[in-house]
Amino acid sequence: MKIKNVTIGEGQPKVVVSFTGHSAEEVQAEIEEAKKNNDKFDIVEIRSDSFDAMNHEDHFRLVDNIIEEMTDCPIIYTYRTNGEGGSGTKSAAEYQSLVSHAIGNCDIDIVDIEFFMYEDIVNQLIDEAKEKGVAVLLSQHDFRDTPHFEEMMATYENMYERGGDILKLAYQPADGRDVLSVLSAVHDARRKFNCQVVGISMGETGKITRVAGGVFGSCMTYGHLINQAAPGQIGAGILKEYLNIFEEDR
């Protein structure tokens, strides 16, 4: 999958940096940091739930500003609800309206759609993205637990059948066995389905999935430049160094 000058799924996992500023000033600081460190990441994720308090007009003015400033980077638009570990508090209808506007009116490359939002909403957003040529990243996040391997595989399969281009699962591990289970699911899903997959085990216990996930088939890994967007995220510069080491050893 090639977006701009980045081929997702080829070579080492692509490093995604999440912009999580709560205000235009904080986001501008992230933009400046990104421009100074543009060799440390490949993709920018706009975590728009971080500025959830803004009105609709200001929200998308800020989104458009990030896109214009980071024009050479593939852009993911994400509104992470508080039910999946984000700070977004909008209702399902408001979520649909927001994500639909981003698909239809913003120059984004990838849209993150929460897979376990209401089914009719998910299907409509997938159709809209496909019509606009925006890649669909279907995601599930659980900050409490890691499902059994069979359940993860069933979720990956359901995401694939519903039209996901990138399938992302992120879970909280209880121990190392949960981490291995996530990596095993990534390995098998990558070989079974004709699309890209991501599997993340969160927190300190799961950090290895952010660094070595590519060995098992993960196409992307998430880092940060200023503020973490999720527990266990590694600074983008350090993450790139670790990925280079893994690539040299393979």
Show Cβ contacts of residue 63 under 8 Å, excluding neighbours closer than 6 positions.
46, 48, 77, 102, 106
Count the neighbouring beta carbons within 10 Å of the beta carbon of residue 204. Answer: 8
What amino acid occupies position 192?
A: K
CA pair distance 230, 227, nearest whole angstrom: 9
Q: Decide the pairing of beta strands 6-7 and 43-47.
A: unpaired
Name residue 196's beta-bridge partners: 166
Six token digits for residue 196: 């890209």
Residue 17 and residue 44 in contact, taking contact as beta carbons nearer than 8 Å: yes
CA pair distance 77, 81, nearest whole angstrom: 13
Give the full edge-to-edge strand order of the sheet including 166-171.
196-201, 166-171, 135-142, 110-114, 75-78, 43-47, 14-19, 220-224, 234-235
Q: Which of 40, 168, 224, 240 is catalytic?
A: 168
Q: Which of 141, 207, 224, 240 is catalytic?
A: 141
Whether 141 is a known active-site residue: answer: yes
Active site residues: 141, 168
